[in-house]
Amino acid sequence: MSPAADTAPRPEGGFPEAPERDSTLALLGEGYQFGRNRFQSLGTDAFRCRLGLAPVLYTHGADAARMFYHPGRFTRRGALPPTAVALLQGRGSVQQLDGGTHERRKALFLELLDPAAATRLVELFNREWERARADWHRRGRITLHTEVERVLTRAAACWAGVPLGDDRGADLRAREIGAMIDGAGAYGPRWLRGWWRRGGTEHWLRSHVRQLRSGPPLPQSDDAGSPAARVASYREEGRLLPVQVAATELLNLLRPTVAVGRWVTFAALALHRHPHYLPRLRAREPGMLQSFAQEVRRFHPFFPAIAGRVREPFDWRGHRFAQGDRVMLDLYATNHDPRLWEHPDRFDADRFLARTPSPYDLVPQGAGEYPRTHRCPGENPSIALLMSAIDQLATRMEYHVPEQDLHYRLDRFPAIPGSRFVIEDVRPGSH
C-alpha cells in the first residue's frame, strides 16, 4: 500500500475513550498490542485513555506522526515515566532539551554520527565480530544476543575513544549497558538491575571526561578529535557541559549502538524462520541486504511508543491541544498499520525493494526530520550496523540452531526471544 492510503483527518474534534477507567494494567498486560487492540475495536487511530491516572491521547499512523514530530510542538520532559528516563535519557541530556539549545546539541550528535562515522563504526564492528567468531568456534555453543552486545560495546567504545581496559573491563561494560537496555521498559528487579548497572558506567565515563579535560588542550574544531573528546570539549554559552551531563551524552552515543544488538538477534531469528532469503543475500542481490534490514526494523518489536507533552498549543483533528497535554505515538502500531503496509503481520523483506519509506511511516526510531526533531540521530549508523551483521550471519559464517525457546513475548518491554538465540558449531562461511 502507498502511504497515501492513510485516512484523512476526521472532521469531528472528539476522540473515543478507551474502555478502562485507567489503562495502565491493560498496557502492561497487552504490551505492544495495547494500542492496536483499541485502534481496531474503537475504529480510530487516536483514542483517549489514562496511564498512571494521567490523561493521554494515544495515537498511531503517518498523520499522527506528522502531528507529533512537528518541530518545537512537544517536549520530552515530564512525558516518559521516570523509570524509563533514568535508563534511556538522563538529566540535561539532548533528549530533555527544547528549542535552540536542543537544535545545537542535536547538531553535535549529527556531526558525530555522520556517514564517515557510520563507515568507521562498521569497520570496527566487523573487526570485533571476526575476532569474536574465532572464540565462538572454540566454545562450541554461544548465546548470540549476549555476544553481539559485547561486540558492539567494543566497537562503540573504540570508535568513541573511550578505553575499555582488558577483556574483563569490556565484558563488564557490555553487561552494564545491556542491563540498561533490558530494564528500560520494566518495573521491579529488571529495572533495578539496569539502574544499578548504570551507576558503574557513568562513573567510568565521568572519570574519562575529567581525564580528557585535565590533559592537553582539547580540540576546538568540528572535525578534530574523538567523539569523546568532542563531547568533553563541547560548550554551551561559552561553558563546558557539567561533567555528569558530558558523561550522560557519551552514554547516549554508546548505549544506542549496543541496543542494535536486539535487532541483530531478531535478524538471526528472521533468517532462521525465513531461510529462502539466504541464497539471495549470499548472491548479493541488489537492494536485498538493506531491504531485509529495514523489514527486521519494521516487523519486530523494539521501542513500543514515544511520549511528549505539548509546548505550544495547536489544533489537530478539530481539537485544541493545550500546553502540558500528554500525547503518545504508538511506534509499533504505526509500523504495523494496514493503511501503510500490505499484510503488516507478515515478514516480507521484498517490500522495501520497490519502496523508499517516508519519514513518517517507518518509525522504529522515531519520525520526522533529524535536525529539528527528537528523531534518533544514530538511525543511519544503526541501519549500517544491522546490515553488516546480517551479512555476517548470512554469508560469512555458518552455524547450527539447536532446539530452544525462540518465542518472544509481546507483553515484555523490550521484547527478546526467550533463549536470546543460541547457536552452535560456528565456523567460517563458504559462500
Q: What is the pLDDT of residues 401-431, one digit of tens each?
A: 999 999 999 999 999 999 999 999 999 887 6
| Alpha carbon distance 399, 119 (integer Å) | 27
Q: Tell me, what's the pLDDT at 1?
A: 40
Asked if omega into 163 is within 30° of 0 (cis), the reply is no
Confirm or deny that 376 is annotated as ligand binding. yes
First to last CA, the chain: 35
Instruction: Specify the CATH number of the domain 3-428.
Output: 1.10.630.10
CA 408 from centre of chain: 18
| Alpha carbon distance 340, 235 (integer Å) | 42
| Alpha carbon distance 45, 43 (integer Å) | 7
| Alpha carbon distance 356, 362 (integer Å) | 10
Output the nine-digit C-alpha cell for 292.
531485509
Q: What pairing do the DSSP bridges indicate for beta strands 54-59 and 326-330?
A: parallel
| Alpha carbon distance 257, 158 (integer Å) | 12
Average the pLDDT over 321-329 and give the result: 95
Q: From residue 29, give the alpha-carbon distance in Å to each of 37, 79, 413.
A: 12, 21, 11
Q: Tell me, what's the pLDDT at 210?
A: 95
Q: pLDDT: is 412 or 85 the higher one?
A: 412
| Alpha carbon distance 94, 236 (integer Å) | 12
| Alpha carbon distance 321, 58 (integer Å) | 13
Q: What are phi and psi of 59, to 5 degrees?
A: -135, 165
Output the nine-digit C-alpha cell for 198.
548504570
Q: Tell me, what's the pLDDT at 42?
A: 96
| Alpha carbon distance 65, 308 (integer Å) | 12
Q: pLDDT: is 147 or 220 the higher one?
A: 147
pLDDT band at 11 (very low <50, low <70, confident <90, very high): very low
Q: Tell me, what's the pLDDT at 83?
A: 66
The residue length of the chain stands at: 431
Give me the sign of the Cα torsion angle 182, 183, 185, 188.
Answer: positive
Percent of the chain at pLDDT above 70?
91
pLDDT tens string 41-75: 999 999 999 998 899 999 999 999 999 999 889 98
pLDDT tens string 226-243: 999 999 999 998 999 999
pLDDT tens string 151-199: 999 999 999 999 998 889 899 999 999 999 998 877 888 888 888 888 8
CA 143 from centre of chain: 21
Burial class (CB in 10 A: 0-12, 13-18, 19+), 93: middle
Q: Tell me, what's the pLDDT at 224?
A: 56
| Alpha carbon distance 306, 70 (integer Å) | 14
Using CA atoms of 28, 39, 345, 335 in order, give the dihedral in degrees to the nearest 10: -80
| Alpha carbon distance 90, 276 (integer Å) | 43
Average the pLDDT over 196-217 and give the result: 89
